[in-house]
Amino acid sequence: MEAALTREETDAGTIAQPVRRAGGADAAAAAAEAIISVRDVTVGFGDKLVLEGLSLDIYPGEILGFVGASGSGKSVLLRTILGLNRKRAGTIRLFGVDVDKASEAERMRIDMRMGVLFQHGALFSSLTVLENIQVPMREYLDLPRRLMDELAVLKLELVGLDADAAGKMPHQLSGGMVKRAALARALALDPDVVFLDEPTSGLDPIGASEFDALVAKLRETMGLTVYMVTHDLDSLFSVCDRIAVLGQKRVLVQGTIDDMLASEEPWVKSYFRGKRARQIVRGEPAGA
């Protein structure tokens, strides 16, 4: 089975499409390829279950778009994968390691292979941009200050920010700059996987499109795997190789954008075949 990605030209632009993997008897082998594997996970708070029996795989080198109604638990799953929320049942394997059985040293190595851009950037307001980017370096590495400064500036440039942004405070940045600075922090340790939680939320259409292009470029140049929680239809259509839809506390549907467009699941149908989606994909007029 191949895990490579092909590219396909559509009315919505160029979309990377994952080569189909074999199912049936090969399902176990396919799961073994996953860089992140979630199986039968249940998460709740008090008497309320948010996720129940949820399973999902993320494969190396893909951009997975994770979508669902507001409050359905998208960010809860992300935080559970990261170990920030406790699960009540199920297993999570990261880079082939069952996190429940991982030693402290294994868990640290796993953490260093993951970067996170939280909603709204979540920069520390009392730190400069440079200092924010250096937070993971200080947490996990023992580097001279000068080297950390050089690396932080390199990360800034990697995400399209000028070096002079390094000395600014978060409140001095525009919304787009905050997202890019937060992405630079997520890339501080050269991770294999980057988690993006609503990365284009609050950005204007041009800024959102530029951010999507940046994510796609970083995936190509750095070989990243990207887990993107998003409501942005443009992101789902333009940069995601595969999409998983959360509903009823589990993954309802997953597949390519074509699979989403063909789905008869009511919420999926409404979301991906609604008026705005048709305009994005087919270029139909607003009154169509």
Tokens of 221: 């140049």
CA nearest neighbour of 37 among 110, 115, 85, 99: 99
The pLDDT tens digits for 28-51 are 444 448 999 999 999 999 999 999
pLDDT band at 201 (very low <50, low <70, confident <90, very high): confident
Strands (E) across the chain are located at 5-10, 13-18, 36-45, 48-58, 63-68, 89-94, 97-98, 114-117, 193-197, 225-229, 242-247, 250-255
Residues 6+ apart with CB under 8 A from 221: none
Are 89 and 168 in contact by the 8 Å Cβ rule? The answer is: no
Structure pTM? Answer: 0.83
pLDDT band at 203 (very low <50, low <70, confident <90, very high): confident
pLDDT at 28: 44
Backbone angles phi, psi at 114, to 5 degrees: -125, 140
pLDDT at 72: 87
Give the percent of the chain with pLDDT over 70: 84
pLDDT at 277: 60
HSE, CB side, 13 Å, CA atoms: give it for residue 246.
27
| pLDDT (average), residues 153-181 | 91
Domain spans in the chain, listed from the N-terminal domain onward: 5-20+60-83+105-113+191-282
* Continuous segment of H or E residues that includes residue 200: none
Give the mean pLDDT of the chain.
84
pLDDT of residue 212 exceeding 80: yes
The pLDDT tens digits for 94-117 are 999 999 999 999 999 999 999 999
Residues 6+ apart with CB under 8 A from 213: 239
pLDDT at 275: 67
Higher pLDDT, 279 or 7: 279
pLDDT at 3: 38
Considering the domain 5-20+60-83+105-113+191-282, what is its CATH architecture?
3-Layer(aba) Sandwich (3.40)
| 60: number of Cβ within 10 Å | 16
By the 10 Å C-beta count (0-12 exposed, 13-18 middle, 19+ buried), 4 is classed as exposed
pLDDT of residue 14 exceeding 60: no
